[in-house]
Every structure is written in structure tokens, then in C-alpha cells.
Amino acid sequence: MKTLLIIDVQNDFMPGGSLAVPDGDKIVPVINNIQHKFDLVVAAQDWHPQDHVSFASNHAGKSHFDEIEIHGKPQTLWPDHCVQGTEGAKFHKDLDTQRWEAIFRKGTDKEIDSYSAFYDNGHLKSTGLTGYLKEKGVSQLFLCGLAADICVYFSTYDAFKEGFACFFIEDASQPLDPNKHEELKKKMEYLGIQIISSEDI
């Protein structure tokens, strides 16, 4: 079953949002135009409590994008974003959600960040996405969304590790850091993850 996973196309990651991804809004029409090509469409949604450990505002004397250590792992401190129930956590108003069968929320535990749609950053807790997709008989997984070099990359990496044939849709994604994104694309290609454009589907 050919499946599309749309990751974090939310207001706070759009131009003008609290953690804006450059040109993040430009992927919305691309995603809308490809959804009909899939047997199954699911989405991931960043959904943080206000006291989330990854927010710089919850660490006295720290600034946005500082690096600290939490549970023995490096943690970037972000601006408050995608706080549960806020306008910033909502999906972009022009994003077509009618075909979506399920939404998997992540980053809900205040003690640990969760870039991947499959697991938190410590791989301590699953979102249940793997089991859901396997029960549906999914073999091919196409991934897109925001940001390409963070949540989309880590979701793609975990999907690959879980045994799915993975396809990263580049023009339906945008990176926060283009240079880092180029490095990560090389890693994906090395693993055998296919980097495609929406026209290739």
C-alpha cells in the first residue's frame, strides 16, 4: 500500500510563525496536489505542553537555539512552538486534510523532545505509527513536510529502520537549515532512501 506521511505542516513553522521555516508555505499546494495519488494519507503534528523541556523560555538564562544536554543527549532550545490548543499548533489553513485517515501527535511528553513521527528522541516511547502502518499493510512510505532537515529527516530515518521502503519528496518539504539539509540528503542516499520530486510519484 502506497502511503503518504505529511509532517508538521503547522502555523508556527510558516513564515511569520514562532519557528518559521523559510518558504514553508510554498509546500502546501504541492502536498495538496499529490494526495490523490496515495492509497493512504496520514499526518504528524507537533503538540507540545507549554512547559516543554525543549523551549528556551523554560530554562533561565538560556536563549533560542542554545544547545544543552538532557537525559545525556544534546538538545537544541527552541522558541515556544506548536503549544497544545494554540493557533500556532494548527495545520496551515490551506492544507487539504479531507483524505487524512489519522493524525499522530508527537512531543506531548514535557520531559523529552520528539522530532520523529515514530519515536521520541530517546527512543523511549513510540507514537504507535509503526504498528498502525504495518497493520495497514504499508510497504512504501513517502514523506514530506517541515522541517526537512529535522522532523522529516528523523521520521524518514526511523521509517527506514522499521523496514519501510522510504521516499523523501523534496519539493513537498522545506529545511530550516539548507546546508545541514544537503548533508542529510547524502546520508539518506547512502542508506538507500530515494529522494524524489512530486512529479516522480
Sign of the alpha-carbon dihedral angle for 155, 160, 165, 167: positive
Told to judge if 37 belongs to the known catalytic residues of this protein, a careful annotator would answer no
Helix (H) or strand (E) holding 53: none
Marked catalytic residue, from 12, 46, 80, 106:
106
**What's the alpha-carbon Rg for the chain, to the nearest Å?**
16
| pLDDT of amino acid 72 | 86
pLDDT in single tens digits along all 201 residues of the chain: 999 999 999 999 999 999 999 999 999 999 999 999 999 999 999 999 999 999 999 999 999 999 999 888 899 999 999 999 999 999 999 999 999 999 999 999 999 999 999 999 999 899 999 999 999 999 999 999 999 999 999 999 999 999 999 999 999 999 999 999 999 999 999 999 999 999 999
| pLDDT of amino acid 27 | 98
Q: Could you tell me the strand order of the sheet in which 2-7 lies?
A: 100-106, 40-46, 2-7, 140-146, 165-174, 194-196
Give the residue from 147, 156, 133 showing the smallest Cα distance to 181. 147
User: Which residues are CB-contacts of 98 (< 8 A; sequence separation ≥ 6)?
Assistant: none
Could you identify the residue written with the cell 508556527?
12
* pTM for this entry: 0.97
| pLDDT of amino acid 70 | 86
Q: Domain residue spans in the chain?
A: 2-49+82-200
Marked catalytic residue, from 151, 158, 166, 185:
151
Told to judge if 12 belongs to the known catalytic residues of this protein, a careful annotator would answer no
Told to judge if 66 belongs to the known catalytic residues of this protein, a careful annotator would answer no
| pLDDT of amino acid 144 | 98
Looking at 3.40.50.850, 3.30.420.40, 3.40.50.12780, 1.10.275.10, the CATH number of the domain 2-49+82-200 comes to 3.40.50.850
